[in-house]
Chain A
Amino acid sequence: MRQFELTHHQIFKSSNLQIKDMNLTLKIWRQKDAASKGGIQTYPLGGIEADMSFLEMLDVLNQELIDKGEEPVVFDHDCREGICGTCSLQINGEPHGPDRGITTCQLHMRAFKDGDTITIEPFRAKAFPVIKDLVVDRTSFERIQQAGGYISVNTSGNTQDANSIPIPKDQADAAFYAATCIGCGACVAACKNASAMLFTSAKVSQMALLPQGEVEADRRVLAMVEQMDKEGFGNCTNTGACEIECPKGISLENIARMNREYMRASVK
């Protein structure tokens, strides 16, 4: 790996391409704990390479802060390859930053210019209270999931193999695309109403579209929407901001499907 990095560096040097470290001004939301007020603090940061990921840039900042004996900035991260949905951050007014179809860990510093000021805030919603600095509590999503985002399958030994149930390709694909939701909360963060409808509808859809999930479809959609409302998420204005900012490109079609499912379940 080290060998590759040297080679990579040399290639750029020999080809006269400028590799210039970036100097940035970071404006970061710092908040001691949930009860504290919190506020924006400014940190100048130099020596940032374009190939660093956004989280690596924050790692560099935190190392500097630790070296100086200051408290590092707390932020969420886990897999760092865009599949777990843990990293959050509202970067320059957009969840996961200015690029599309990616999580914050997949955002690279080449999306910014030398001398840029970057504002980094936690996702904001009543249902996503700040725990510390940039970390928010997203267990409200889990409670929505627990309200009905499952199928009850008998696992006593006579379970039918899922592959033996024929499912139309279109339907299987739609269910799959809905299931790619990683529950990161970018939809809520992007929405002007802090609505969780894209998330909830993806979870409703991925099951309602398949024969195994269809059985409990009515109960599921009623319970999940009820929980979503209880958590204090806002309503949907169909601005489409969630779909644009979603790292997985979850479609608004899912919200329409949830609207249909819910209407049908309500009148039954």
Chain B
Amino acid sequence: MAKSALLKSSLAKKYWMAFTGLFLCLFLVGHLAGNLQLLASGEGARDQFNEYALFMTSNPAVRILSIVTFASILFHVIDGIIITINNRKARPKGYVSFKPSTNSKWSSRNMGVLGTIILAFIVIHLINFWGEMKFGEWETRDESNIEAVHVMENGVAVVEMEEQDQTSNLIYTTESGAEVKDLYTITIKTFQDPEWGLIWAIIYLIAMIAIGFHLYHGFGSGFQSLGINHPKYNTFVRRVGVGFAIIVPLLFAIIPFYIYFVLDKI
């Protein structure tokens, strides 16, 4: 019984939900720390961010961490769907009159809805940047600047550039001479796009509001599900949770608007 208890029981589903959720909170902190570098301006900012992006895509430890993160998201989503289906089955006939607002918070009752918004955002976000990094065209989007010639040498792509405008190119040559996608430029251009920049910023803002409400309930709820509930620490956990739910999404949400309105146009 003990073995299936940690996989199949209702409580096990809560443990996994809490464990993956709290791990993803840690991921948010790391991701935010990286993203805040986008607030810097100038050529140094581009170098710094792209070196950081290279580290994040090449370091084996980071690679393992990113796999764990993707697995956590997947597990969190699947577990959430299974729990939601079970919960629906638990009350096949609903109430004519039901007033949950009198005894519980909106966010706590809408974790599934908020999670769905967040999942949709993750897909959009991955297409925007991760997909662009992984599968995007190597050439610059500017037709007049396609002058780069790519040669594969010992599995490492090396580019030979012929008098091309670095700023409008999506290829970045690192200090060590390796060449990577210019994630900095991809990002800045996305949010500075005259037609789409502001729309993207608003889409990201909506997603961050959803994440904020999701965290507002999820952070403290994760501790409760793992059995960490003690009168001595509850207030502290709750306050940290509320602070986390406000500060982290707020800082994330500022970045696209800052790039659109404040940062020098490139």
Query: Which positions in A face B, CB cutoff 8 Å?
Result: 27, 29, 40, 90, 92-94, 98, 119, 121, 124-127, 190, 192-195, 197, 222, 225-226, 228-229, 232-241, 244-245, 252-253, 255-263, 265-268
Write the residues of chain B forming the contact surface with A, with a CB cutoff of 8 angstroms. 1-2, 5-6, 9-15, 83, 86-87, 89-100, 102-105, 108-109, 111, 217, 220-221, 224-231
Whether B109 contacts A239 by the Cβ 8 Å rule is yes
Expressed in whole angstroms, the Cα–Cα distance for A225 and B8 within the complex equals 11
Given A29-B96, A126-B90, A234-B87, A239 and B104 contact (CB-CB distance below 8 Å): yes
With contact pairs A119-B97, A125-B91, A267-B2 given, residues A229 and B104 touching in the complex (Cβ less than 8 Å): no
Q: Shortest CB–CB separation between residue A202 and chain B, in angstroms?
A: 14
Contact A225 B229 (CB under 8 A): no
Pairwise interchain contact A225-B10, C-beta atoms closer than 8 A: yes
Instruction: State the CA gap A94–B1 with chains docked (Å).
Output: 37
Query: Is the beta-carbon distance between A92 and B97 smaller than 8 angstroms?
Result: yes
B97–A93 CB distance below 8 A: yes
B109 touches A235 (CB 8 A): no
Residues of A within 8 A of B224 (CB): 238, 252, 255-256, 259
Contact at B221–A245, with CB atoms within 8 Å? no
Contact yes or no, B2 A236, CB < 8 A:
no
Q: In the complex, A197 Cα to B14 Cα: how many Å?
A: 12
User: For residue B15, which residues in chain A have a CB less than 8 angstroms away from its CB?
Assistant: 259, 263
A-B contact pairs, 10 of them (CB 8 A): A90-B95, A93-B100, A194-B87, A197-B10, A235-B13, A235-B87, A252-B224, A259-B15, A266-B12, A267-B2
Contact status of A259 and B9, CB under 8 A, knowing A126-B91, A194-B90, A235-B86:
no
A121, A237, A266, A267: which contacts B109 (Cβ < 8 A)?
A: A237
A186 to nearest B CB, angstroms? 10
Query: In the complex, are the beta carbons of A124 and B99 less than 8 A apart?
Result: no
Return chain B residues, CB-CB under 8 Å to A236: 10, 14, 225
Task: Please report the C-alpha to C-alpha distance between residue A222 and residue B8 in the assembled complex, in whole angstroms.
Answer: 12
A121-B97, A238-B108, A263-B15 known; A192 and B87 CB under 8 Å? yes
- Whether B91 lies near A193 (C-beta < 8 A) is yes
A193–B104 CB distance below 8 A: no
Q: For the complex, give the distance between the alpha carbons of A263 and B226 in Å.
A: 8
In the complex formed, the residue of B with least CB distance to A240 is: B104
A234 and B86 contacting across the interface, CB-CB below 8 Å: yes
Taking a contact as CB atoms under 8 Å apart, the answer to whether B6 and A229 are in contact is no
Contacts of A234 in B (CB 8 A): 86-87, 89-91
Q: Contact check: which of A124, A197, A257 meets B95 at CB < 8 Å?
A: A124
Determine whether the beta carbon of A192 is less than 8 Å from that of B229.
no
Least CB distance from B77 to A in Å reads 16
Asked whether B87 lies within 8 Å of A119 as measured between CB atoms, the reply is no
**Shortest CB–CB separation between residue B113 and chain A, in angstroms?**
12
Residue of B nearest to A117 (CB): B97
A236 to B94 CA separation, bound complex (whole angstroms): 18
Shortest Cβ distance from B231 into A: residue? A253
Indicate whether A195 sits within 8 Å of B104 (C-beta atoms), given known contacts A93-B98, A259-B225, A266-B5.
Answer: no
Contact of B225 among A93, A229, A238 (CB under 8 A): A238
How far is B10's CA from A258's CA once the two chains are assembled, in angstroms? Answer: 12
Q: How far is the CB of A267 from chain B (nearest CB, A)?
A: 7
- Contact between B108 and A237 (Cβ–Cβ < 8 Å)? yes
Cβ–Cβ contact A260 & B100, under 8 A: no
- Which residue of A has the minimal Cβ distance to B7? A266
| A266–B99 CB distance below 8 A | no
Say whether A244 contacts B10, CB under 8 Å. no
**Nearest-Cβ distance from residue B7 to partner chain A, whole angstroms:** 9
Q: How far is the CA of A228 from the CA of B217 in the complex (A)?
A: 25
Q: How far is the CA of A238 from the CA of B104 in the complex (A)?
A: 9
Beyond A125-B90, A256-B229, A259-B226, whether A190 also contacts B2 by CB under 8 A is no
